[in-house]
Amino acid sequence: NVDYKYAEEKGIKVVRVPAYSPYAVAEHAMALLLTINRKIHKAYLRTRDFNFSLKGLKGFDLHGKTVGVIGTGKIGRVFMDICKGFGMKVIAYDKFPAEGSDIDYRPLDEVYRTADIISFHCPLTEETYHMFNLGTINKVKEGVVIINTSRGALIDAEALLKGILEHKIGATCLDVYEEESEYFYEDFSGEIISDDVLSRLISMPNVIVTSHQAFLTKEALENIASTTVENLLDIEKTGSSPNEVR
């Protein structure tokens, strides 16, 4: 969203907030998983109407299930720890494995083939763009749960939709979407959106979409604000910042 070259030409320094709360995003990923699995969103709406039926609310134990974590940076590692707390078997893939760690790294294809739940926690690059596509969907276990709280374009949304319609994918939790910039953070409740893929995903009973809110905690916002102020003070005092984008 920033033209770095133009900013440099005009002598404008661009700084970033490298990390604000890995816990916020990792906890949101687990919240999505618990919600879609135990049908908490459906149960809540039912009981609001005094409907206490249990029909269609069956989930499965997370304990003993295999979760595949793609990307083992700060957020990925926090999510792994949360999963271990539920008694889940955690396997992972990262192009740059953490040396000296006890993470059970596996080849990406093996993660796709063996995981009951797959959660994406990696950056968006040319290499990771649409890394989850028709080809990879054909490799996953039938009924797999997909979670993405990272970057929308990691997943080919049309391929994801096809995988859900063909019952290859059992459930999907998205806090990000590859065309989200047109819709997220705005209220379109009184309009008809033109993105047919997003509309169909949201309408499905086994899909949860939240509007890129995984970061939205009190602590994360405080960290964003404090780091931003520190960046400004560093530039004012020294002319540079360790968080400067170069």
Residues identified as active-site = 151, 180, 212
Query: Quick one: tokens of 27?
Result: 């906890």
Beta 169-174 vs 89-93: how paired, if at all?
A: unpaired
Identify the three-state secondary structure at position 33.
helix
Q: In 3D, which of 85, 99, 131, 137 has the Cα closest to residue 115?
A: 137
In the block, tokens 């078997």 appear at 89
DSSP state of 97: P
CA distance 225 to 229: 6
- 3-state secondary structure string across 40-67: HHHHHHHHHCCCCCCCCCCCCCCCCCEE
Query: How many residues are given for the chain?
Result: 246
174 close to 210: Cβ distance less than 8 angstroms: yes
CA distance 55 to 46: 11
Q: Please, which residues have CB within 8 angstroms of residue 123's CB and are 6 or more apart in sequence?
A: 71, 150, 151
